[in-house]
Structure 1
Amino acid sequence: MTDNTNHHDAASGADEPRERVIGTPSAADGAATATGDPHRRHEGPYPAEETHTRSEETQRKGERIAALWFLIAFLAGVGFFVSYFSFPPNADGDPSVADPGIAQLANVLLGGTLTLSLFAIGAGMTVWARQVLPHYEVSSPYDELPSSKEEKGSFSEFFMRGANESGFTKRPLMRRTLLLAMAPLGLAPIVLLRDTGPLPKDTLKSTTWEDGLHMVVEGTDRRITAADLDEVGSMVTALPESHDPEHGLSMNEQAKTVILLIKMDPQDFGPDMTQQQLDWTHDGIVAYSKICTHVGCPAALYERTTHRILCPCHQSTFDAANGAEVVFGPAHRPLPQLPVRVDDEGYLVAAGDFSAPVGPTFWDAGVED
């Protein structure tokens, strides 16, 4: 198969004008040579000849355009910070009271200003490369991998010559605006760390469970009595009774306080149960956090014959008869136990808070067992 394009070029002659690629210098901007200009050669470790020369006027024009783009990038970066602090992600740190309209506007402003800043820096760098930087054809012949002493000694001179020809050192307008444009983007990741949320401090070590707080069946407001778990092997998912009946518990409170109430034969408790853990039970009723200590999935399955609590996400298995110790799977920490007792009316109530922080193991960082 023949190349029709090559035949057309040969027939048309060398004097016929060719289509110029967008972004490359025009004939008015400088002369393109095939063999290079001997006085525009690098004397570094690799032969390099300039293929496009540009007039000083063209380079100054490119410097001004690139500086304009960098200035736009800086202003867009400042706009990003203004948008970020003017439209906080939520009110008082509670996402449930955030205004959807304001959140949408904030997303548009944040995304738009960041996009414009990055685009402007890219556009400025493109103009810099197209209109200011010299273009060289570099040949690198195959030779021995270790560099000679002459090549090593000439590298620093070669590097500095390239830096000078790039315009970075001798064109302060372009250099300063580039550094100015990069400043907001460099500070943005530090500021955005605020969105990781406030430090947990001691909030992970405690929940709303407290001595005397009634237990209710999950999804209802019905209090639980010891008689509700009269049969050995019974299991109920429970939550603390809300102090605000009108609004109930928040989703965050529910996630931290949900428990499994399990009825066991007191003789089935294993040797690993400490006396304190046994004191936290009532007539064989034991309460454990339902949140798996691996990644926080609900450990909702219970096998009454083996007393095993299973998390279906990654098969972490806990022994309810031995303080919910891990017997299988990726979890490394037992399910926290909630002390329970019965009030004067026969209702199950908490006798305090959990024995350890609830949830994945990383929540327990720095906390002694």
Structure 2
Amino acid sequence: MSENQNNPADTSHEVAVTPETGTAVGHPERFPDPGVPEHKHRLTDTDPRAAKRAERTVTILFVLSILGTIGSIVAYVMVPPDGTTSGVRLSTLLIGLGLALSLLGIGVAGIHWAKSLMGDKEMVQERHSLATNEEDRAIAVRDLNEGLGDSGVVGRRGVLKGAFFGALALFPLAIAVPLIGSVGGDWNISKFKHTMWKSGMRLAIDPSGRPIKAADVTVGSVFHVVPETTEAYRETHDWINEKSKAVVLMVRLNPEDLRTDQSPPGETWSHEGIVAYSKICTHVGCPVALYEQQTHHLLCPCHQSTFDIADSAKVVFGPANRRLPQLPITVDDEGYLVAQQDFAEPIGPSFWERLK
């Protein structure tokens, strides 16, 4: 087959080809079409035992995939995250290993199947005219006319026609009404720019609400923190709304490992290596709670945004485009950790802007 035959759209080098030799006439630098190379048989094509081994291998790989799927489901049910870092890591690891085995088994089995058992001979499909013959065209036109006639029955049935068009006309209201109703909602977006943290408010363990002393925080420890409130308030719906904005992750580092924080010159927003940052990821608002003690990195499990706690919680990886807001903290006269003020910048996704 000549180059021109391989690429019918290329008319810049059209030449004649002799049917006897397949060589180009009138173009001395052209060479004969080498054609399709001789088919080389695989071992599985000539040796039934090799084919049987390949079949067993593919089967085993698919079975491993099945076991991986079952294992991931069992891990999800039997080893749920218990709220601790180690528990979340173990659950994530087991589920991930099961899914990896499942997908890897399917992928490798499919590749091995295709390379060793499926046919690998070159196939040629002859081209033919794509035009439909007159008889098929007539049948198609007849069927279209019959369908058009059947649809005309709707025009003679008033109730059916009214119901049909009424349903089509009313359906958009199912979308439009909620949208229109939301226009009259609460659009005071300043509520989302500030949290309930205030100067002197103690940091408390979530969910018990017990205040935290600085002496109780050891190097490398991680605390999930909320503002200290009364037990009665923690039972209210308003507390759920406020807590969702005010949640904090607090970590204690060796003071020499703390390179920078977000405090302005002349101020200190940390206490003896203890730093507190918003748990709400600045990408889309997922809870950031996976802390790597060796690297001082904080990981968001949703989209893998990674923040460096030792360096102002700046982004070191992932889609988040700004650091986690820091909660300025200090200690009171009784040694309890307290907030100096609210976050100095808005928490949550970075498209939020604080109203001054």
Give the TM-score normalised by structure 1: 0.48
Give the TM-score normalised by structure 2: 0.50
